[in-house]
Amino acid sequence: MGVRVGPEVEVSALFQQRATDDANSRDRLVHGDETALIDLHERFSSLVYTIAVRVTRDSTAAEDITQEVFLAVWQRPHDFQPDRGSLRGWLAMMAHRRAVDLVRREEAHRRTNLAVRLYDATFSRGDPVGEQVSDEDAAARLAEALKALPERLCRAITLAYLEGHTYREVAVVLGVPEGTAKSQLREGLRRLAEALRETHTGEVEGR
């Protein structure tokens, strides 16, 4: 009669086999084995893409991130340390990190664009403010002005102008009619413009 193996032993054996397979894949990549990269792409590309598209909500961006992740794997296989975790986890971490970085860069870009637009709309062409305030300063002042808005207006502005949602999507997220969402956005933009003007006026008077 054979000896029955308990579930704990089976799980341990599976983890050991996975660690061995991951280490072998890394060694093959280190030695420039292109078939190792192809194998990894077939096994994990859907995972990487799913994580990227979930974070970015952009299929094109997710495809680009997927390519970047596997290019990084090919160029820097030494970065993977089998004793610190699985290959699957490492790829997932890279995908998530790159996706979050992309979202943050895009949000910063949108924030700067919104700040510049508000300054252009708030101050006349002859006003020297445009020359005195850099894009970075404008974005920083916008961030402070956003914090001072009521939560409902701040959320609406953030969704529409910093996260790139449509009016309809903003309305759905906020749980209000689309007309109400548009009204909140108009009110939020008006208050932001007023806050920027007050900030500038206070700085001028304080000189």
Q: Express each pLDDT in 33-45 by its tens digit.
A: 999 999 999 999 9
Give the residue among 97, 61, 101 at the shortest CA–CA distance from 79.
97
The domain spans of the chain are 7-101, 123-205
Give the residue among 126, 123, 146 at the shortest CA–CA distance from 201.
123
Q: How confident is residue 21, by pLDDT bands cut at 50, 70 and 90?
A: confident
Relative orientation angle of helices 178-205 and 135-148, to the nearest 10 degrees: 120
Give residues with Cβ within 8 angstroms of 18, minimum separation 6.
Answer: 86
Domain 123-205 -> CATH class? mainly alpha
Residue 177 has pLDDT above 50, yes or no: yes
**What is the CATH number assigned to the segment(s) 7-101?**
1.10.1740.10
For 166, the 3-state DSSP assignment is coil
Residue 8 has pLDDT above 70, yes or no: no
Q: Express each pLDDT in 141-175 by its tens digit.
A: 888 888 889 999 999 998 888 888 889 999 999 99
